[in-house]
């Protein structure tokens, strides 16, 4: 591809005298499990000049981001903030603040990210009780309740929208059992925030975390997190400080908790501009309409893919609209699927996701998240697959 005269989106012209490494990025349709494509308004917001992290003009933007995050999470939690690191760090932030070595935790394991919750809790020194289900199915709230009543844990944790399987897990009933046992519920909302309605306060969720690169259609790099008052009481009663200085919500609260905005670390200004714009777009559309758009796109995808002999792994009532897992026909399993995904990327500019764990080589994961939850994305994917198959 000749770069001479290639014009970037922002109007910067690349000339042959520029270093050869400076290349415009190839356009990709990102239909994997994240990141999704970023809205042009979000890219433009990120390109604005920097403000200092203590500048009143920046703090006004941060106030706005925190208020909008509360609304999209469905919470009034004061300590709702964009953690300066990706979703996996948000997971660790929730568990590392609420658990101390020796504490018991009950974790719902329904895929890769449930496994990760166990691993993170174990490293903190927690005694972890796993409640499992088959990949592609939902946790049984009755089994969760039994484990909670037996173990009497400090923390119960599960993944709302399991990105490795495409299952939307039940929350309200597990939350009730957690509250009755006087435990704290931690919810992974990485693939649900902005694509599926969340009601943390109504459900009784004590701490939650998410990412920006899925249904919010912002770049990856931040983790919206929210801690309720019961969770913060627990943190204040810890016997020993949180091992992580960077993730200690007591310290984060000095900057993000409202009030004086005392320096903790330098906030990632540009990423917060992007998140502010992404959240404005969510609220302009309205969360109900946005969720319905995700549902419609997911249904259209399944119809089109069934015609190609790709069938959904997950039964209808459990399906997660932003992420659909499709079983591959026998001829496409194993090495064949990897080759086909690579051709889809190279020849059609479309990224989709591979299966993980026991589903590796058996399924594809198709994300229709945020900006990409649209019929034309489904049509483009279907046309490309028809050409390749």
Site for a second copy in 19-58 (CB under 8 A): 19, 21-22, 24-28, 30, 32, 34-38, 41, 43-53, 55, 57
Number of residues in contact with a second copy under rule CB under 8 A: 76
Measured from the CB atom, the residue of 24 and 258 that comes closer to a second copy is 24
Q: Which of 161, 204, 210, 160 is CA-nearest to residue 183?
A: 204
Distances (CA, A) of 278 to 41, 363, 370, 372: 8, 31, 10, 14
Stretch that binds a second copy, among 148-156, 169-177, 263-271, 329-337 (CB under 8 A): 263-271
Contact call for residues 289 and 74 (beta carbons, < 8 A) = no
Question: Is the CB of 178 or the CB of 213 nearer to a second copy?
Answer: 213
Work out how close the CB of 317 gets to a second copy at its nearest, in angstroms, rounded to a whole number: 29
Return d(Cα 218, Cα 282) in angstroms, integer: 11
Asked whether the bond before 133 is cis by omega within 30 degrees of 0, the reply is no
Answer for the pair 131, 109: CB distance below 8 angstroms, yes or no: yes
Q: In angstroms, what is the minimal distance from the CB of 13 to a second copy?
A: 11
Question: Least distance (Å) from a second copy to the CB of residue 100?
Answer: 12
User: Of residues 274-333, which lie at the interface with a second copy (CB under 8 A)?
Assistant: 274, 276-277, 280, 284
Q: Checking phi first, is residue 357 left (phi over 0); if not, alpha (psi -120 to 50) or beta?
A: left
Q: Binding mask 209-228 vs a second copy (x if CB under 8 A, - otherwise)?
A: --x-x-----xxx-------
Contact 33, 367 (CB under 8 A): yes
Measured CA to CA, the distance from residue 223 to residue 272 in angstroms comes to 11
CB 83 within 8 A of CB 93: yes
Build a one-symbol-per-residue string for 158-197: x at contacts with a second copy by CB under 8 A, - elsewhere. ----------------------------------------
111 binds a second copy, rule: CB under 8 A: no
Q: How far apart are CA 318 and CA 169, in angstroms?
A: 7
Interacting residue with a second copy among 176, 268, 340, 380 (CB under 8 A): 268
Q: Under the criterion CB under 8 A, does residue 340 sit at the interface with a second copy?
A: no
Which residue number, 91 or 326, has a Cβ lying nearer to a second copy? Answer: 91
According to CB under 8 A, which one of 7, 123, 150, 233 is a site residue for a second copy? 123
CB 83, min distance to a second copy, A: 9
CA atoms of 97 and 81, how far apart (whole Å): 15
Q: Residue 87, interface with a second copy (CB under 8 A)?
A: yes
* Closer residue to a second copy (CB): 168 or 190: 190
How many Cβ atoms sit within 10 Å of the Cβ of residue 127? 15
CA quadruple 192, 195, 197, 199: dihedral sign: positive
Judged by CB, which is closer to a second copy: 175, or 215? 215
Which range, of 85-93, 127-135, 293-301, 376-384, touches a second copy by CB under 8 A? 85-93
């Amino acid at each position: 591809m000749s770069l001479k005269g290639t014009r970037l989106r922002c109007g910067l012209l690349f000339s042959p005298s520029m270093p050869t490494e400076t290349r415009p990025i190839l356009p990709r349709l990102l239909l994997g499990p994240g990141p999704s494509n970023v809205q042009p308004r979000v890219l433009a917001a990120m390109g604005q000049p920097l403000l200092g992290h203590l500048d009143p003009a920046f703090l006004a933007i941060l106030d706005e981001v925190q208020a909008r995050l509360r609304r999209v999470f469905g919470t009034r939690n004061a300590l709702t903030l964009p953690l300066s690191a990706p979703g996996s760090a948000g997971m660790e932030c929730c568990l590392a603040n609420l658990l101390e070595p020796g504490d018991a935790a009950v974790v719902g394991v329904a895929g890769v990210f449930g496994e990760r919750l166990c691993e993170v809790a174990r490293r903190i020194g927690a005694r972890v009780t796993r409640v499992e289900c088959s990949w592609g199915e939902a946790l049984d709230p009755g089994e969760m309740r039994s484990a909670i009543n037996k173990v009497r844990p400090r923390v119960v944790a599960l993944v709302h929208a399991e990105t490795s399987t495409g299952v939307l897990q039940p929350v309200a009933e597990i939350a009730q059992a957690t509250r009755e046992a006087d435990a704290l519920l931690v919810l992974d909302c990485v693939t649900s925030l902005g694509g599926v309605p969340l009601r943390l306060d109504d459900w009784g969720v004590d701490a939650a975390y998410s990412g920006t690169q899925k249904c919010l259609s912002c770049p990856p790099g931040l983790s919206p997190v929210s801690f309720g008052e019961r969770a913060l009481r627990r943190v204040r009663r810890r016997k020993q400080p949180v091992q992580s200085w960077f993730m200690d919500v007591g310290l984060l609260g000095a900057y993000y908790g409202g009030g004086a905005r005392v320096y903790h670390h330098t906030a990632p200004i540009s990423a917060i501009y992007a998140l502010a714009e992404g959240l404005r777009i969510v609220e302009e559309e309205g969360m109900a309409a946005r969720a319905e758009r995700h549902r419609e796109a997911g249904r259209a995808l399944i119809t089109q893919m069934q015609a190609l002999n790709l069938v959904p792994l997950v039964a209808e009532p459990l399906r997660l609209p932003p992420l659909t897992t499709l079983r591959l026909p026998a001829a496409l399993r194993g090495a064949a699927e990897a080759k086909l995904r690579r051709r889809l990327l190279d020849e059609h500019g479309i990224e989709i996701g591979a299966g993980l764990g026991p589903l590796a080589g058996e399924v594809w994961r198709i994300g229709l998240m945020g900006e990409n939850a649209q019929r034309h994305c489904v049509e483009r994917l279907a046309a490309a697959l028809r050409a390749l198959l």
